[in-house]
Amino acid sequence: MNHEFIEALEQIGKEKGVSKEILYEAIEAALISAYKKNFNTSPNVNVHIDRETGQIKVFSCLTVVDEVKDPQQEISLEEAREHSSKYQMGDVVEIEVTPKNFGRIAAQTAKQVVIQRIREAEREIIFKEYVDREDDIITGIVQRTDQKNVIIDLGKTEAVLPPSEQMPGEAYRQGDRIKAYVVEVKKTTKGPQIMVSRTHPGLLKRLFELEVPEIFDGTVEIQTVAREAGQRSKIAVFSRKEEVDSVGSCVGPKGARVQTIVNELKGEKIDIIKYSEDPKEFVSNSLSPAKVTSVEIKEDERVANVIVPDYQLSLAIGKEGQNARLAAKLTGWKIDITCESQVEDFSGDLPEEEKLSFFAGEEEEEKEGIEDFEGIKEGKEDEETDELPDLEVVESDDEEK
Protein backbone atom coordinates (compact mmCIF):
# COMPACT_ATOMS: atom_id res chain seq x y z
CA MET A 1 0.00 0.00 0.00
CA ASN A 2 1.10 3.59 -0.62
CA HIS A 3 -0.02 7.17 -0.24
CA GLU A 4 -2.47 6.88 -3.15
CA PHE A 5 -4.28 4.05 -1.44
CA ILE A 6 -4.45 6.00 1.82
CA GLU A 7 -5.93 8.98 -0.02
CA ALA A 8 -8.44 6.71 -1.73
CA LEU A 9 -9.55 5.33 1.65
CA GLU A 10 -10.00 8.83 3.00
CA GLN A 11 -12.07 9.85 -0.03
CA ILE A 12 -14.28 6.76 0.18
CA GLY A 13 -14.81 7.37 3.87
CA LYS A 14 -16.00 10.92 3.23
CA GLU A 15 -18.32 9.98 0.36
CA LYS A 16 -19.93 7.04 2.11
CA GLY A 17 -20.00 8.56 5.57
CA VAL A 18 -17.81 5.76 6.95
CA SER A 19 -15.04 6.42 9.45
CA LYS A 20 -11.55 5.97 7.97
CA GLU A 21 -10.48 4.13 11.12
CA ILE A 22 -13.24 1.57 10.61
CA LEU A 23 -11.86 0.81 7.15
CA TYR A 24 -8.32 0.42 8.51
CA GLU A 25 -9.46 -1.97 11.22
CA ALA A 26 -11.47 -4.01 8.71
CA ILE A 27 -8.49 -4.31 6.36
CA GLU A 28 -6.17 -5.33 9.20
CA ALA A 29 -8.61 -8.05 10.30
CA ALA A 30 -8.87 -9.33 6.73
CA LEU A 31 -5.09 -9.38 6.26
CA ILE A 32 -4.71 -11.52 9.37
CA SER A 33 -7.01 -14.12 7.78
CA ALA A 34 -5.16 -13.86 4.47
CA TYR A 35 -1.78 -14.34 6.17
CA LYS A 36 -2.92 -17.45 8.04
CA LYS A 37 -4.45 -18.91 4.88
CA ASN A 38 -1.47 -18.30 2.60
CA PHE A 39 1.44 -18.95 4.95
CA ASN A 40 0.01 -21.54 7.34
CA THR A 41 2.03 -20.28 10.25
CA SER A 42 1.52 -18.90 13.76
CA PRO A 43 -2.17 -18.66 14.67
CA ASN A 44 -1.48 -15.62 16.85
CA VAL A 45 -0.58 -12.75 14.53
CA ASN A 46 -1.30 -9.04 14.34
CA VAL A 47 -1.27 -6.81 11.29
CA HIS A 48 -0.56 -3.11 11.55
CA ILE A 49 -1.06 -0.51 8.79
CA ASP A 50 0.82 2.74 9.18
CA ARG A 51 -1.82 5.50 8.91
CA GLU A 52 0.62 7.92 7.27
CA THR A 53 2.72 5.78 4.90
CA GLY A 54 0.42 2.83 4.32
CA GLN A 55 3.22 0.38 5.16
CA ILE A 56 2.03 -3.04 6.34
CA LYS A 57 3.76 -5.09 9.01
CA VAL A 58 2.86 -8.55 10.29
CA PHE A 59 3.74 -9.50 13.86
CA SER A 60 3.75 -12.96 15.42
CA CYS A 61 2.53 -12.89 19.04
CA LEU A 62 4.50 -15.30 21.28
CA THR A 63 4.06 -15.93 25.00
CA VAL A 64 7.18 -15.97 27.22
CA VAL A 65 7.57 -19.38 28.96
CA ASP A 66 10.27 -21.41 30.75
CA GLU A 67 10.16 -24.33 28.31
CA VAL A 68 9.08 -23.87 24.72
CA LYS A 69 6.73 -26.63 23.52
CA ASP A 70 5.10 -24.85 20.57
CA PRO A 71 7.49 -22.48 18.73
CA GLN A 72 4.58 -20.93 16.84
CA GLN A 73 2.97 -19.71 20.05
CA GLU A 74 5.73 -19.61 22.68
CA ILE A 75 9.18 -18.11 23.19
CA SER A 76 11.80 -18.61 25.90
CA LEU A 77 12.70 -15.85 28.32
CA GLU A 78 16.26 -15.67 26.97
CA GLU A 79 15.12 -15.15 23.37
CA ALA A 80 12.56 -12.62 24.46
CA ARG A 81 15.18 -10.57 26.30
CA GLU A 82 17.26 -10.45 23.13
CA HIS A 83 14.53 -8.12 21.80
CA SER A 84 14.04 -6.25 25.08
CA SER A 85 15.30 -6.70 28.62
CA LYS A 86 11.92 -5.64 30.01
CA TYR A 87 10.13 -8.90 29.18
CA GLN A 88 9.06 -11.17 32.06
CA MET A 89 7.41 -14.59 32.28
CA GLY A 90 3.92 -14.58 30.80
CA ASP A 91 4.46 -11.47 28.68
CA VAL A 92 3.53 -11.45 24.99
CA VAL A 93 6.31 -10.66 22.53
CA GLU A 94 5.54 -9.31 19.06
CA ILE A 95 8.10 -10.33 16.44
CA GLU A 96 7.84 -9.03 12.89
CA VAL A 97 7.30 -11.81 10.34
CA THR A 98 6.19 -9.79 7.29
CA PRO A 99 6.65 -11.93 4.09
CA LYS A 100 8.42 -10.40 1.11
CA ASN A 101 5.47 -10.70 -1.30
CA PHE A 102 2.78 -9.82 1.23
CA GLY A 103 2.01 -6.50 -0.49
CA ARG A 104 0.38 -8.24 -3.47
CA ILE A 105 -1.78 -10.42 -1.22
CA ALA A 106 -2.68 -7.37 0.86
CA ALA A 107 -3.81 -5.41 -2.20
CA GLN A 108 -6.09 -8.20 -3.43
CA THR A 109 -7.58 -8.73 0.02
CA ALA A 110 -8.02 -5.04 0.78
CA LYS A 111 -10.20 -4.42 -2.28
CA GLN A 112 -12.83 -6.98 -1.30
CA VAL A 113 -12.74 -6.02 2.36
CA VAL A 114 -13.19 -2.33 1.66
CA ILE A 115 -16.20 -3.00 -0.59
CA GLN A 116 -17.80 -5.33 1.93
CA ARG A 117 -17.08 -3.09 4.89
CA ILE A 118 -18.50 -0.04 3.13
CA ARG A 119 -21.72 -1.93 2.44
CA GLU A 120 -21.99 -3.05 6.04
CA ALA A 121 -21.25 0.43 7.33
CA GLU A 122 -23.83 1.97 5.03
CA ARG A 123 -26.45 -0.53 6.21
CA GLU A 124 -25.61 0.22 9.83
CA ILE A 125 -25.83 3.97 9.24
CA ILE A 126 -29.22 3.60 7.53
CA PHE A 127 -30.50 1.34 10.31
CA LYS A 128 -29.46 3.81 13.01
CA GLU A 129 -31.05 6.64 11.07
CA TYR A 130 -34.44 4.96 10.66
CA VAL A 131 -34.66 2.98 13.90
CA ASP A 132 -34.97 6.33 15.67
CA ARG A 133 -37.82 7.25 13.33
CA GLU A 134 -40.16 4.47 14.39
CA ASP A 135 -43.61 5.95 15.10
CA ASP A 136 -42.71 8.89 12.88
CA ILE A 137 -43.75 9.97 9.41
CA ILE A 138 -41.60 9.72 6.28
CA THR A 139 -42.00 10.85 2.68
CA GLY A 140 -41.07 8.65 -0.26
CA ILE A 141 -41.74 7.93 -3.91
CA VAL A 142 -43.62 4.84 -5.07
CA GLN A 143 -41.08 2.77 -6.95
CA ARG A 144 -42.81 -0.50 -7.82
CA THR A 145 -45.24 -3.17 -6.67
CA ASP A 146 -43.88 -6.57 -5.62
CA GLN A 147 -46.43 -9.30 -4.85
CA LYS A 148 -48.99 -6.72 -3.66
CA ASN A 149 -46.34 -5.05 -1.50
CA VAL A 150 -45.69 -1.43 -2.49
CA ILE A 151 -41.98 -0.54 -2.48
CA ILE A 152 -41.32 3.09 -1.55
CA ASP A 153 -38.01 4.74 -2.40
CA LEU A 154 -36.68 6.80 0.54
CA GLY A 155 -33.44 7.85 -1.17
CA LYS A 156 -30.80 5.82 0.67
CA THR A 157 -33.02 2.79 1.15
CA GLU A 158 -36.48 1.38 0.51
CA ALA A 159 -39.57 0.89 2.65
CA VAL A 160 -42.23 -1.78 2.29
CA LEU A 161 -45.95 -1.01 2.44
CA PRO A 162 -47.68 -4.41 2.89
CA PRO A 163 -51.25 -5.03 1.70
CA SER A 164 -52.60 -5.01 5.28
CA GLU A 165 -51.34 -1.45 5.76
CA GLN A 166 -52.64 -0.05 2.46
CA MET A 167 -55.69 2.18 2.42
CA PRO A 168 -58.75 0.53 0.82
CA GLY A 169 -59.32 1.76 -2.70
CA GLU A 170 -56.11 3.80 -2.85
CA ALA A 171 -54.06 3.36 -6.02
CA TYR A 172 -50.28 3.51 -5.79
CA ARG A 173 -48.74 4.55 -9.10
CA GLN A 174 -45.06 4.61 -9.90
CA GLY A 175 -43.63 8.06 -9.24
CA ASP A 176 -46.33 9.12 -6.76
CA ARG A 177 -45.00 10.95 -3.69
CA ILE A 178 -46.70 9.75 -0.50
CA LYS A 179 -46.34 10.06 3.25
CA ALA A 180 -46.33 6.93 5.41
CA TYR A 181 -46.04 6.01 9.08
CA VAL A 182 -42.98 3.98 10.16
CA VAL A 183 -44.31 0.96 12.04
CA GLU A 184 -41.13 -1.10 12.48
CA VAL A 185 -37.45 -1.12 11.48
CA LYS A 186 -35.71 -4.52 11.46
CA LYS A 187 -32.04 -5.33 10.99
CA THR A 188 -31.56 -8.12 8.43
CA THR A 189 -28.62 -9.64 6.57
CA LYS A 190 -29.62 -7.68 3.47
CA GLY A 191 -29.82 -4.41 5.35
CA PRO A 192 -32.55 -2.64 7.33
CA GLN A 193 -36.14 -3.58 6.54
CA ILE A 194 -38.52 -0.66 7.04
CA MET A 195 -42.23 -1.44 7.37
CA VAL A 196 -44.60 1.50 6.85
CA SER A 197 -48.36 2.01 7.06
CA ARG A 198 -51.00 4.24 5.50
CA THR A 199 -53.79 3.00 7.80
CA HIS A 200 -52.21 3.48 11.23
CA PRO A 201 -53.92 6.12 13.46
CA GLY A 202 -50.44 7.48 14.16
CA LEU A 203 -50.25 8.72 10.56
CA LEU A 204 -53.20 11.02 11.17
CA LYS A 205 -51.64 12.29 14.39
CA ARG A 206 -48.28 13.03 12.73
CA LEU A 207 -49.96 14.79 9.80
CA PHE A 208 -51.70 17.15 12.21
CA GLU A 209 -48.37 17.80 13.95
CA LEU A 210 -46.89 18.78 10.59
CA GLU A 211 -49.75 21.05 9.54
CA VAL A 212 -50.77 22.63 12.87
CA PRO A 213 -48.07 24.74 14.59
CA GLU A 214 -50.07 24.81 17.83
CA ILE A 215 -49.88 21.00 18.05
CA PHE A 216 -46.19 20.98 17.16
CA ASP A 217 -45.28 23.44 19.92
CA GLY A 218 -47.52 21.74 22.51
CA THR A 219 -50.17 24.46 22.88
CA VAL A 220 -52.80 22.05 21.55
CA GLU A 221 -52.63 18.36 22.41
CA ILE A 222 -54.06 15.37 20.59
CA GLN A 223 -55.71 13.18 23.23
CA THR A 224 -57.09 10.26 21.23
CA VAL A 225 -57.52 9.20 17.62
CA ALA A 226 -60.05 6.81 16.11
CA ARG A 227 -59.69 5.91 12.47
CA GLU A 228 -61.22 3.74 9.78
CA ALA A 229 -58.65 4.31 7.06
CA GLY A 230 -59.91 5.66 3.76
CA GLN A 231 -63.39 6.41 5.10
CA ARG A 232 -63.60 8.47 8.27
CA SER A 233 -61.61 9.48 11.33
CA LYS A 234 -62.22 11.29 14.60
CA ILE A 235 -59.57 13.14 16.55
CA ALA A 236 -59.99 14.63 20.05
CA VAL A 237 -57.94 17.74 20.81
CA PHE A 238 -57.39 19.84 23.93
CA SER A 239 -55.90 23.31 24.38
CA ARG A 240 -53.55 24.16 27.25
CA LYS A 241 -54.39 27.86 26.87
CA GLU A 242 -57.95 29.13 27.23
CA GLU A 243 -57.44 31.80 24.60
CA VAL A 244 -56.50 29.18 21.97
CA ASP A 245 -59.34 27.34 20.24
CA SER A 246 -58.16 23.75 19.86
CA VAL A 247 -60.67 22.82 17.15
CA GLY A 248 -60.22 26.06 15.23
CA SER A 249 -56.44 25.67 15.27
CA CYS A 250 -56.73 22.25 13.65
CA VAL A 251 -59.27 23.38 11.07
CA GLY A 252 -57.21 26.42 10.07
CA PRO A 253 -58.23 29.50 8.05
CA LYS A 254 -61.15 28.51 5.82
CA GLY A 255 -60.35 24.87 6.62
CA ALA A 256 -56.97 25.02 4.89
CA ARG A 257 -55.04 22.95 7.45
CA VAL A 258 -57.46 20.06 7.72
CA GLN A 259 -58.07 20.12 3.95
CA THR A 260 -54.36 19.54 3.33
CA ILE A 261 -54.55 16.42 5.49
CA VAL A 262 -57.75 15.26 3.80
CA ASN A 263 -56.05 15.60 0.41
CA GLU A 264 -53.05 13.58 1.62
CA LEU A 265 -55.43 10.84 2.81
CA LYS A 266 -57.28 10.84 -0.52
CA GLY A 267 -60.53 12.35 0.71
CA GLU A 268 -60.85 10.62 4.08
CA LYS A 269 -63.38 12.52 6.22
CA ILE A 270 -62.02 13.90 9.49
CA ASP A 271 -64.09 14.99 12.51
CA ILE A 272 -62.21 17.22 14.96
CA ILE A 273 -63.66 16.88 18.47
CA LYS A 274 -63.05 19.04 21.53
CA TYR A 275 -61.77 16.82 24.34
CA SER A 276 -63.30 17.09 27.81
CA GLU A 277 -62.52 15.37 31.09
CA ASP A 278 -66.27 15.23 31.74
CA PRO A 279 -67.40 11.89 30.20
CA LYS A 280 -70.87 13.25 29.43
CA GLU A 281 -69.52 16.19 27.48
CA PHE A 282 -66.84 14.10 25.76
CA VAL A 283 -69.31 11.42 24.63
CA SER A 284 -71.71 14.12 23.45
CA ASN A 285 -68.96 15.85 21.46
CA SER A 286 -67.71 12.57 20.02
CA LEU A 287 -71.01 11.91 18.23
CA SER A 288 -70.59 15.12 16.22
CA PRO A 289 -72.00 16.22 13.79
CA ALA A 290 -75.12 14.78 15.47
CA LYS A 291 -76.76 16.83 18.26
CA VAL A 292 -77.30 14.99 21.55
CA THR A 293 -80.22 15.63 23.90
CA SER A 294 -78.75 13.99 27.01
CA VAL A 295 -76.09 11.53 28.15
CA GLU A 296 -76.35 9.21 31.14
CA ILE A 297 -73.12 7.67 32.39
CA LYS A 298 -72.80 4.32 34.16
CA GLU A 299 -69.29 4.39 35.63
CA ASP A 300 -69.22 0.78 36.84
CA GLU A 301 -70.22 -0.69 33.49
CA ARG A 302 -68.45 2.07 31.54
CA VAL A 303 -71.59 2.56 29.49
CA ALA A 304 -72.98 5.83 28.13
CA ASN A 305 -76.73 5.94 27.40
CA VAL A 306 -77.26 8.63 24.79
CA ILE A 307 -80.60 10.15 23.79
CA VAL A 308 -80.85 12.01 20.49
CA PRO A 309 -83.73 13.72 18.66
CA ASP A 310 -85.54 11.44 16.25
CA TYR A 311 -84.36 13.37 13.22
CA GLN A 312 -80.74 13.11 14.42
CA LEU A 313 -80.76 9.35 15.02
CA SER A 314 -79.49 8.28 11.61
CA LEU A 315 -76.82 11.00 11.75
CA ALA A 316 -75.66 9.90 15.21
CA ILE A 317 -75.39 6.28 14.10
CA GLY A 318 -73.82 7.06 10.75
CA LYS A 319 -73.54 4.92 7.67
CA GLU A 320 -73.40 1.27 8.78
CA GLY A 321 -72.92 2.50 12.35
CA GLN A 322 -69.63 4.19 11.53
CA ASN A 323 -70.13 7.47 13.42
CA ALA A 324 -71.16 5.78 16.66
CA ARG A 325 -68.48 3.11 16.29
CA LEU A 326 -65.74 5.71 15.92
CA ALA A 327 -67.16 7.66 18.87
CA ALA A 328 -66.89 4.51 20.99
CA LYS A 329 -63.28 4.03 19.91
CA LEU A 330 -62.46 7.66 20.58
CA THR A 331 -63.97 7.83 24.08
CA GLY A 332 -63.38 4.27 25.26
CA TRP A 333 -67.02 4.06 26.40
CA LYS A 334 -69.70 1.66 25.25
CA ILE A 335 -72.39 3.86 23.72
CA ASP A 336 -76.12 2.99 23.71
CA ILE A 337 -78.12 5.27 21.41
CA THR A 338 -81.90 5.79 21.62
CA CYS A 339 -84.23 8.43 20.18
CA GLU A 340 -86.55 10.73 22.10
CA SER A 341 -89.80 9.19 20.85
CA GLN A 342 -88.84 5.77 22.14
CA VAL A 343 -87.93 7.14 25.55
CA GLU A 344 -91.34 8.83 25.76
CA ASP A 345 -93.13 5.61 24.79
CA PHE A 346 -91.54 3.57 27.58
CA SER A 347 -91.58 4.10 31.31
CA GLY A 348 -88.41 3.15 33.14
CA ASP A 349 -85.31 1.86 31.38
CA LEU A 350 -85.57 1.04 27.72
CA PRO A 351 -85.25 -2.74 27.03
CA GLU A 352 -81.82 -3.75 25.75
CA GLU A 353 -83.29 -4.94 22.47
CA GLU A 354 -84.54 -1.42 21.78
CA LYS A 355 -81.06 0.15 21.96
CA LEU A 356 -78.32 0.48 19.42
CA SER A 357 -75.09 -0.38 21.22
CA PHE A 358 -71.57 0.46 20.11
CA PHE A 359 -68.34 -0.39 21.88
CA ALA A 360 -64.66 -0.54 21.00
CA GLY A 361 -65.61 0.26 17.44
CA GLU A 362 -68.02 -2.65 16.92
CA GLU A 363 -71.78 -3.09 17.12
CA GLU A 364 -73.21 -5.71 19.48
CA GLU A 365 -75.76 -6.56 16.82
CA GLU A 366 -75.53 -5.55 13.18
CA LYS A 367 -78.41 -3.11 12.60
CA GLU A 368 -78.89 -0.74 9.70
CA GLY A 369 -80.71 2.54 10.22
CA ILE A 370 -83.74 1.97 12.42
CA GLU A 371 -84.98 -1.16 10.69
CA ASP A 372 -84.68 -3.35 13.78
CA PHE A 373 -86.37 -0.89 16.16
CA GLU A 374 -89.83 -1.72 17.32
CA GLY A 375 -90.64 1.95 17.02
CA ILE A 376 -94.42 1.54 17.31
CA LYS A 377 -95.76 -0.23 20.39
CA GLU A 378 -99.13 -0.73 22.02
CA GLY A 379 -101.41 2.28 21.96
CA LYS A 380 -100.09 3.66 18.66
CA GLU A 381 -102.92 4.22 16.23
CA ASP A 382 -100.83 4.15 13.08
CA GLU A 383 -99.70 0.52 13.47
CA GLU A 384 -101.48 -1.23 10.62
CA THR A 385 -99.00 -3.92 9.73
CA ASP A 386 -96.71 -6.48 11.43
CA GLU A 387 -93.75 -5.14 9.50
CA LEU A 388 -91.39 -2.88 11.41
CA PRO A 389 -91.34 0.76 10.29
CA ASP A 390 -88.35 2.29 8.60
CA LEU A 391 -86.55 5.48 9.54
CA GLU A 392 -88.72 7.69 7.37
CA VAL A 393 -91.95 6.51 9.06
CA VAL A 394 -90.57 7.26 12.53
CA GLU A 395 -89.22 10.64 11.46
CA SER A 396 -92.52 11.63 9.90
CA ASP A 397 -94.11 11.57 13.38
CA ASP A 398 -91.63 14.20 14.59
CA GLU A 399 -93.08 17.70 14.50
CA GLU A 400 -89.61 19.14 13.91
CA LYS A 401 -89.23 16.98 10.76
The CATH number linked to 155 is: 2.40.50.140
User: 211 and 323 share a domain?
Assistant: no
User: 284 and 386 share a domain?
Assistant: yes
In terms of average pLDDT, the best of 30-44, 77-91, 300-314, 353-367 is 300-314
Least confident of 109-113, 231-235, 286-290: 109-113
323-360 pLDDT, tens digit per residue, is: 999 999 999 989 998 888 877 665 455 555 555 666 54
9-35 pLDDT, tens digit per residue, is: 777 777 777 777 777 887 777 777 777
Give the CATH number of the domain where residue 296 resides. Answer: 3.30.300.20
155-173 pLDDT, tens digit per residue, is: 888 999 999 999 988 888 9
Among 275, 305, 329, the domain-final residue is 275
Give the whole-number percent of the chain exceeding pLDDT 90: 30
User: 241 and 259 share a domain?
Assistant: yes
Higher pLDDT, 330 or 78: 330
Closest of 366, 273, 367, 365 to residue 326, by C-alpha: 273
pLDDT at 230: 87
**Across residues 121-142, what is the average pLDDT?**
87
Give the domain extent around 161.
133-199
Separation in Å, CA 258 to CA 208, 222, 250: 8, 14, 6
pLDDT at 349: 53
How many domains are there within the chain? 4
Separation in Å, CA 194 to CA 118, 133, 165, 229: 20, 10, 13, 21
Confidence of residue 269 (pLDDT cuts 50, 70, 90): very high
**Across residues 200-225, what is the average pLDDT?**
92
Least confident of 13-27, 182-196, 265-279: 13-27
User: 121 and 139 share a domain?
Assistant: no
pLDDT at 346: 57
Contact 261, 225 (CB under 8 A): no
User: 229 and 212 share a domain?
Assistant: yes
Answer whether residue 39 shows pLDDT above 50: yes
Q: State the pTM of this model.
A: 0.64
User: 239 and 259 share a domain?
Assistant: yes
Contact 1, 111 (CB under 8 A): no
pLDDT at 350: 52
Collapse the DSSP code of 212 into the 3-class scheme (helix H, G, I; strand E, B; otherwise coil) and give the result. coil
**Phi/psi at 80 (5° precision):** -65, -40
